[in-house]
Amino acid sequence: MFTGLVEAAVPVRAFVKRGTGARLILPAPREEDLALAPEAGSWGGATSDEPWEAGIGDSIAIAGACLTVAELLDPPDGAKKPDMAFDLTQETLDRTWLAALEPGRIVNLERALKLGARLGGHMVSGHVDVCGHAVGREDVGDGGAVFTFEVPEGFERFLIDKGSITIDGISLTVVSPQGRQFQVAVIPHTLQRTHLGHLAAGDPVHLEADLVAKWVERLVVR
């Protein structure tokens, strides 16, 4: 499980197709890549007294898609920690936009939530429901921005005003849902420390509906 609070944003080191799948290689986050300030607390994020560590078998949400560290590679010149390698299946490539990754593209990272840690966002599974896309961005005077997104037909039933939604691994609040479109207000910190700051109109995004909403629907339908 995850919280939707991004810990770091890093550039893709390599993305290589392998048969029907692919291998993704990411660098371990540097201090300047970490999205959480030292005062963020001990809920499980990267803090000054708990530096980023990841081992083989660890679950990490990459742009909201839960992947497993398959291998730790020797650090490249100048790096202090090993690179992380992830193997992607055909199912993952089909259901996400990760097949479009290329070296240098920035992606959000979050390690799995620790038992007993503070839940700062909302419960996130890391299982992408659908891919939507950005429609537009309006910058606001405080350095933040309001984004408009569009979702595939059928997903709009999960767009609840002031409800939670995960966009590329970020816990955000739905504003003004109208049909298949909705907005989110993003603060300057989130723009600066996640890959939302690089998002342009037309770009695809991973969407995960609120787990509570999905379970309620499941129970009602049954």
Sequence ranges of the domains in the chain: 8-111, 130-221
Bigger pLDDT: 49 or 210?
210
Residue 51 has pLDDT above 80, yes or no: no
Give the fold, CATH level 3, of 130-221. Answer: Elongation Factor Tu (Ef-tu); domain 3 (2.40.30)
What's the CATH code, domain 8-111?
2.40.30.20
Q: For the chain, what is the mean pLDDT?
A: 88
Within this chain, domains 8-111 and 130-221 share the same CATH topology = yes
Question: Which one has a higher pLDDT value, 212 or 74?
Answer: 74
Mean pLDDT across 93-115:
93
pLDDT score, position 45: 41
Longest CA pairwise span in the chain (Å): 56
Determine the pLDDT at residue 222.
67
Instruction: Provide the whole-model pTM.
Output: 0.87
Is pLDDT at 171 greater than 50 in this prediction?
Answer: yes
